[in-house]
Chain A
Amino acid sequence: DTAVSQTPKYLVTQMGNDKSIKCEQNLGHDTMYWYKQDSKKFLKIMFSYNNKELIINETVPNRFSPKSPDKAHLNLHINSLELGDSAVYFCASSLSGSADTQYFGPGTRLTVL
């Protein structure tokens, strides 16, 4: 019974392509996040949504566009992929805000060739 799920788990694509990653949580949480973890294992927040409303938007290229159709889902669409986008992308959720425990999905390993 997966709490936070992401699809796909692996994504290999060519530069310039557009791709999407989907995330769903069944914990009833109000807040969801996207993180990027680079090759040095640094975990950096990209976006955060609370009840479908964008509340944190870090300095991320506008090629990245999150979308939250409802509070259980948070998707990430990436346009015109670049080599530097290669990383592991984690979705996470928390009950009401960042002061609460965050539960992470299994991650999506994106490789841009």
Chain B
Amino acid sequence: QKEVEQNSGPLSVPEGAIASLNCTYSDRVSQSFFWYRQYSGKSPELIMSIYSNGDKEDGRFTAQLNKASQYVSLLIRDSQPSDSATYLCAVTDSGGYQKVTFGTGTKLQVIP
């Protein structure tokens, strides 16, 4: 059973701080990695995708991928109360149709 693991939180950070969200995955040959944000009562929406080792930055968000350690993270700089949500890590497997497996999500609370 291929797994994607996240700390469920809640992770509480003060406004303006850096929030660090972590995810590990079990399938060594996973190919595509995603971070989705889900507000309470809403549907998931994509924040970042990353496909190769290293960092990828988009505004206040940075995704980091380390395939050797089977680890992907999301950093949110200058955290805002509007960033308070559940962050879902998603990983595609190596199969022909690349099934996506989601983690259980980390709830982030940004304290004003």
Contact = CB atoms under 8 A, between A and B. Distances in A.
Contacts of B38: 41
Contacts of B34: 101-102
A15 interface: no
A67 interface: no
B43 A106 contact: yes
Interface string B26-39: 00000110100010
B98 A98 contact: yes
B31 A90 contact: no
Nearest to A58: B99
Interface size on A, as a range, is 20 to 34
A45 interface: yes
A98 B105 contact: no
B99 A48 contact: yes
A31 to B, nearest CB: 9
A107 interface: yes
Interface in B23-54: 31-32, 34, 38, 42-46, 49, 51
A56 B102 CA distance: 15
B100 A102 contact: yes
Given A56-B97, A98-B32, A99-B92, A42 B43 contact: no
A16 B39 CA distance: 32
Interface string B73-112: 0000000000000101000100001111110110000000
B43 A104 contact: yes
Contacts of B46: 101-103
Given A42-B102, A98-B100, A106-B43, 14 more contacts: A42-B105, A43-B44, A43-B102, A55-B97, A90-B43, A98-B97, A99-B31, A99-B51, A101-B34, A101-B46, A102-B44, A102-B46, A103-B46, A105-B43
* 8 tightest Cβ-Cβ pairs between the two chains A and B: A104-B43, A98-B98, A43-B102, A99-B32, A98-B100, A55-B97, A101-B46, A98-B92
Interface of A: 40-45, 48, 50, 55-56, 90, 97-99, 101-107
